[in-house]
Every structure is written in structure tokens, then in C-alpha cells.
Structure 1
Amino acid sequence: MRISPGPDSRQGPWTASPTVFLYCHGATASCQPHTMRTIFFSTWALLLLSSVSAQTPQRPSFTCGGNLTEESGLVGSQGYPGVYPPNTKCVWRITVPIGRVVVLSFRFIDLESDNLCRYDYVDVYSGHAGGQRLGRFCGTARPGALVSTGNKMMVQMMSDANTAGSGFLAVYSAAHPHQRGELYCGGLLDKPTGSFKTPNWPEKDYPAGVTCSWRIVAPKHQIIEVRFEKFDVERDNYCRYDHVSIFNGPEINDARRIGKFCGDSPPSPVLSEGNQLVIQFLSDLSLTADGFIAHYTFRPKKYISSTLPPVTTTQPPTTRAIPMKYSAALCQPKCKKRGSLETNYCSSNFVLTGTVITASVRGGSVFATVSILNLYKEGGVAIQQAGKTMSTKITILCRKCPLIRRGMSYLFMGQADEDGRGTIGPQHLVTAFKTRNQKELSGLKTQHC
């Protein structure tokens, strides 16, 4: 019902009288007046909410594999960010316009952790079928950017029966193949002689968060010699952060690794076993340094290698005891705590508190990834760092001694093996994390055992 107001002697000649509507509710016809302005703004608000709702981006749904042909996009494990399914093989084939290369950057990765990535992993290839593998990745440490040599790249994820983690999310984009900015490096080297170097060399330090892979291919009956002219890569006793790795053969394979190098001393000259080498440079997300320049030369297979000194790395000699391995006899005794906090601290190679991120049982042992809360004694244990988050890999030799659970926090004391992986046997102390232990542990850190 519309009602026009009567004349009002208080209104001036330039004052308009608002149109008033009466809204009547129910049988009692209880009416409430609303001005046209109120109706206008209410309608506008409803239209705005409808527009915003329609434009709000929906979370992408990731399936197992597919063909990706846009110039840029997302690649994610099936069901990301939920736990990825077991016993799957997913293949994504990326194709960008001819004349461009594919750049892949991981934004997140959380797969079952293993030193050799044997169980759950992501493989990245330059090209589709039969392409060069740029790397295999697992755990929680994000690799740097990966660059194909052509306009195609393949991403393959494998999971076994025991899965743990949220999978991965990566971004791909098309780039110009000869761009030498802060992220692009690597490629195929097949001339008789040549050089390769870190990005920005020699003008400034190499950037953080980069992965470069050079594949050197000689004729079938020749081998490859590599010599580093200048070398300055972030120093660490175990080359856990920034480093250069050299592999025999056409792909990155830890079983075929010749050496892993860091520090400021050039590595000794390197000779391949066959006609192919892969050199991988990786920088993490923190400190950087000058970088390096290296030269390679093709040699006949009969080239006398005795004139070359042996390959060395910056890793110093260690006095760590040979780590134990799982055996049924080792795990038979009843599990119980032995000794005090102090005696276990002194007899352990590493001491830390952390939260179990992943845990999987294999061959009677538990392989776990632990997010570190506090590190009291490093002792050679390898630590991965992504931003401010530090993690390490620990093997519990006897899966029920001690019994650990994913998502729980513990005090771990044990021994690091030659690969920097923490190893814990029945004689080592592992207990639930208690804040009251922090003061005592901090005190032990300053004492000499």
C-alpha cells in the first residue's frame, strides 16, 4: 500500500518528501514504514552479495594425471590438500607453445620421506615419453625451479600401499628458452668443450631457491672430464643446504652419484664412467654465495685417469660408529627406559625434540619425518629447511620400541648414520615431549660429557 504524505509547512521549497512504503505482516496487518532509500540499498546489497558469490573462485579439484596445454597452470596430487590415495600412478603431460620451455615450481610437497625416495615420490621429466629425468622428490623439502629443454614436461607421482602426507602442489609456466634471469639455468651440453655456471655469475651471488641441471653428452666411445675454475657455495659439513651433485649417466640417481660438493674449495677434477654426466646445482631458501664456473672436455676412453687426484667433497672425516641395522634378535627384548636424561644425552649422537609428520612401517622398522621443535645436539644428523621450518628423517629400528605416533611430539636421542639419517635402537631414549625437560636439556647443552 502506498501513502503520499500531506503538506508540511516546515518543509522548504527545495525539500523533497520521501515516498513511504508500508510493509504489512501477518493477519494483524502490522505495517512498518520504509523509505525508498532503504529499499534501494537493501536491493543493492542483495545484488552485490549475489555478484560476489558468483565471482568467488572455487578451490581447484585435482585429479590423477591429465594433459595440460595452457601457458600456465597448477599441478597437484589427487585430492590435494587431502591425503593422497595409496597404490596409484598419476601422470601429467604439460605442453606449452613451440619455442618456449616449461618452468615448474613446487609450492608445497609432503610425501612419505625416504633417503632414496623409493616408496612415494614425484618424478619430473624434460619432455614426455623417454625424456630426461630432472629429479625425483619426496619428503617435505621443496626443490628449486625445474626447467625443461623443450616445450614439454612430464610430472609423474607414484604411491605405494602405505601413504602419509598431503601430496604436492606445483605451478608451471611457459618461458623463453634463453632467458638467463634468476630462475633459469641448466640444459643440454653436447659440444666437445664448454662451460657452465651458476645464475648471475660473476656479477653477483646466485639466487635462493634454484635448481639447475646440466646434462653433458659425449660420443659413445668418449668420457667427460669436468674441472671447476672458481667455486663458492654455502658451506656445511654435510652439504645439506646449497650444493653441487655430479651423477654418472643420463639422470639424477643417488646410486650413481660421484660426489656432492659445497664450501669455497674447488672440487678435484671429475671423470665420468661413460659418455654422460648430470650436474645438479641446488640452493635452498636462505643463504647464498658467489657460485661457480666449471669447464668440461670430452676425452677418449683410454685417457689416463691416474694423473687426476681422487674425487673429494667438503665432508670431513667422521668418528661416528657404524649404525646398527634391524634384526629380529635386536627387537626381541622387552622395551624399557634405561639410564637418566644426562647419561642418555652424553651417549647419544644427536638430541632433539620434534613432532612426527610422517611414519611408515617397513621391514619391522619405522621410517619417520620429524618437524624439529628444538635442536640440542646435532651430531651429524641431516636437517632440511623450508623457510623457518626444519625437519629431519629418523629410523626407529624396532617399530614397537619405542612406539611413536604421527602428530605426537617426542624427545629423540639417537645416532646419525653416514647419510645423516637419525637411527634409534632399543637402547636409545625416546620419550613424550614435556616442557619441563627444556631447562634441563638446555643445561646439558652447555656441559661437556
Structure 2
Amino acid sequence: MSAGFRVLVISLLLAAHSSAQQHQPNERYTFTCGGNLTGVTGLLGSEGFPGVYPPNSKCTWKITVPEGKVVVLSFRFIDLENDNLCRYDFVDVYSGHANGQRIGRFCGTFRPGALVSHSNKMLVQMVSDANTAGNGFIAMYSAAEPNERGDQYCGGRLDKPTGSFKTPNWPDRDYPAGVTCSWHIVAPKHQVIEVKFEKFDVERDNYCRYDYVAVFNGGELNDAKRIGKFCGDSPPAPIVSDKNELLIQFLSDLSLTADGFIGHYKFRPKKLLTTTSSPVTTAAPTTANLKPTVALCQQKCKRSGTPESNYCSSNFVITGTVITTVSRSGSVYATVSIINVYKEGTLAIQQAGKSMSSKIIVVCKQCPMIRRGLNYIIMGQVDDEGRAKILPSNFVMSFKTKNQKMLNALKNKRC
């Protein structure tokens, strides 16, 4: 351990002891695996901190502050095994103790801003795999008034029929560094949520790695349910939820900031939900029919019809480059970097800056055959989760520049 790191740890511990007034400055604080924490303020850290945390562990801390208050958690230091999706070693933070909404998942050395619960309870859980890599974390919690808002605090539950959400300091000055905001929008059953960003300016990066807005179907952070991840100075296209819950998360790192954003939402009856494209003339296959059965995958793999004849019966039509392919359970799971969208429907499209991508599943891996690095016209169906499903009967062909004019004409076709 470096001398600088020792100084950091000691200063943090002394500050924590002083504020809590529970320990003498020269008393060593021992961090254990989880526990129940109460009071108006306190300190928690990974087991053995500042030493390397143990492998194959799962530690849970339940924080409870006085009734009528909310919990504010501030990470002072974090050093866990780094991974883009935090799959190996991570810290999860939940609002509430049982079945609470996850506020965030963190790993690496990124230190999020203050995290605020919706009630007087918060749960913090750290998980490590067989390979340790880091000194863990240390964090402070404190009690605050429910409606207390400042540079650090933002987010919350939104359940009125219409409303707005915005970055801290909007519109007077740039959003602060090191902020994490989570807005959980909840509509009545059988309604969906439409979100539009009026103004948008978040630090630009091709992959939105530093500051970003992420939007999820449902009430927790789940990459499979992520609708998109956004940054830059171009507002995202309007977003409509699949069901009656939507989670919007904003994160800023500890460096550059920008103007921020303001967004508006409203509830809509699900039965009135329409897409910009004309209705399809044939029913989309059910999820059960999208499994790679022997009968389905033994069909002769021969493309039938033309782009014109398949356009109306397809839920979505895109052109794109296949950038990843993985075979699994008789199907191919691929990621497509989108060149253009001609018919979107309910297809889930992720956006990073000006780059768009979508995940597709070729149900029968040999039909139609797609190869990484090649460009295709892809027409297919969309399941209830917004995933693209390509059946042997769907239309897929190589995309050439000369096809552009034909596809532009199809975009205005009436079905």
C-alpha cells in the first residue's frame, strides 16, 4: 500500500470518527462483512478495508435512519475489480431493505455522487468473485430531510400523470461533477410512459463512458432492459416504455461537466400506443414460435420475395453492420451497428453519441446466415422485450449502396 493511500485512509477514518463522535481518534476501526447500521450518521467499508477484500464473499449492510428522514450515501473511496458491466466484483445500492429499487451498481475506481434513498432505509451489498483486485470501498451515510435538494441530490419517484426532471443546477449553470441521479417513473397499470428531452447537453464521448443518461424499462438497472445510453448535445428521440415503469439514470464523473438537460414525461393509455410506421398486414409470431425447434430450423433456407414485398409484414427494417456474433442454444446472438432505420416499430435501439446499435437474435443459426463485418438489410419481428428476432421466413440480404434509393422509397410506403 502506498504512503499516499495510507494518508487518505487515515484522514477519512478520522473524519468519520469525528463526525460520528463514537470513537477516539487513535482507535482503529474494524470493518466486517455486512451488518445493521442505525443512527443519523455512520461509516461502512468492505471487509478488512484498507486491506484487499476477500474472494467469494457477499456482504450486506442494512442502514436505517430515523423515521421521516431519507438516507444519503457518499462513497469516499472505491477500488474494485473493473469491468464495463460490473459482472465480477461490485457494490449494489438499494432504496429500502427488502425488494427495494436498485439505485446503482458500481465497480472499478469510479466514485459516484451522493445516493439518496426514497425512505429511511437503504441496503448496500458487495459481491466478489474468486479473483480479488482492489482495496474495496469506504462510504459515509447520513440522515437528511426527504425534500432536501442541493448540488448533490437529485432523482426520486415520479408518479403524477405529467412532470419534468432535470440535472442539478439547471438552467443556471453546469451540472456538478460526481453526481448520480435516478428518476423512477411509475404509471398506473395498462398505461405507458412517453419521455421527451427538451434540451440536452452532456459531456460527449463516442461510447458515453464518462457522463451519460441511461433509460431502462422497469424499475431497476438491468442491461437487458436498457432502452438507450445517451450523451453529447443532441437530444435523444422520444422514448416510450414497454410497460408502466421507466427508470432514468444520470451519472457524471469527476472531470468535465456541461449544461445538462431537462426532460418531460407523460402517461399514455397503452391501447393508443402507435408507431410512426403503418400497421403490419400479418400478425407477428408469438414468442413461443420464436424458439429454434427442429421443424422450424429444417426449413429450406431460401430467401423469398423482395424488400418491397416483405416491408409491410416486418415489424422493423434496418440496414447495419454485424459487429459481434455469438452462437448459443442453436441460435445466433448478434450486435448490429445501425447504418439507417427505415421502420423502427418497438425495436430497442441503443445510442452512444451519434452511433446506434441493436441486438438481434437469428433463431436458427444457419438461416439466414449472417457474418461478422458484413452489411445487411434486415427485416424481422420484435418480441415483447423489444428484441429483434429473425426467423428463416424473414427477409435478410446483403446491403449495397445502390439499395439506398429503393429503401428510401419504402420508408414512405403505405401498407
Decide: shared fold, TM above 0.5.
yes
Structure 2 residues without counterparts, runs of 5 or longer = 1-22, 278-319, 328-351, 353-415
Q: Provide Cα deviations, 1:325-356, integer angstroms capped at 9, x if missing partner.
A: 89xxxxxxxxxxxxxxxxxxxxxxxxxxxxxx
Give 3-state SS (helix, strand or coil) of 1:302's partner: helix
Q: Is there any run of 5+ residues in structure 1 with no aligned partner, and where?
A: 1-53, 309-318, 327-379, 381-449
Does the residue aligned with 1:305 lie in a helix, a strand or coil?
coil
Which secondary structure state, in structure 2, belongs to the residue aligned with residue 91 of structure 1? strand
Cα distance in 2 for partners of 1:279, 1:263 equals 17
Amino acid at match of 1:173: S
Give 1:161's aligned residue: 130
Shift in Å at residue 57 of structure 1?
2.4
- Offset, 1:324: 9.0
Residue 231 of structure 2 aligns with which residue?
Answer: 262
Aligned to 2:74: 105
Match of 1:59 in 2: 28
Q: Distance in 2 between matches of 1:209 and 1:196?
A: 18
What residue in structure 1 maps to residue 213 of structure 2?
A: 244
Residue 170 of structure 2 aligns with which residue? 201
- Give every structure 1 segment of 4 or more consecutive aligned residues whose post-TM-superposition deviation is greater than 3 Å: 319-326
Q: Structure 2 CA distance, aligned partners of 1:258 and 1:110?
A: 29
Deviations 1:378-397 (A, max 9, x none): xx9xxxxxxxxxxxxxxxxx
8 Å contact kept, 2:110–2:253: no
**Cα deviation code 1:28-79 (max 9, x no counterpart):** xxxxxxxxxxxxxxxxxxxxxxxxxx95422311001111112111110100
TM-score, with structure 2 as normaliser = 0.61
For the aligned residue pairs, the C-alpha RMSD in angstroms reads: 2.7
CA deviation after TM superposition for structure 1 residue 115, in Å: 2.4
* SS across alignment from 1:215: strand
Q: CA deviation at 1:98?
A: 1.5
Match of 1:137 among 83, 87, 106: 106
Q: Structure 1 residue 147: deviation in Å?
A: 0.7
Partners of 1:103 and 1:232 lie apart in 2 by: 27
Distance in 1, matches of 2:191 and 2:61, equals 35
- 1:222 equivalent in alignment to 2:191: yes
Q: Return the alpha-carbon distance in structure 1 between the equivalents of residues 323 and 228 of structure 2.
A: 21
SS at match of 1:306: coil
**Matches for 1:24-423 after TM superposition, within 5 Å:** 56-307=25-276, 322=323
What is the one-letter code of the residue matched to 2:87?
R
Contact 2:44 2:138 in 1 (8 A): yes
> Counterparts of 2:266 and 2:323 in 1: how far apart (Å)?
39
Aligned partner of 2:409 in structure 1 is none
Larger gyration radius, structure 1 or structure 2: 1
Is 1:271–1:305's contact at 8 Å kept on the other side of the alignment?
Answer: no
TM-score (normalizing by structure 1): 0.56
Give distance in 2, aligned partners of 1:126 and 1:73: 17
Counting aligned pairs with the same residue, the percent is 74
Determine the C-alpha separation between the residues in 1 that align with 2:274 and 2:27. Answer: 60
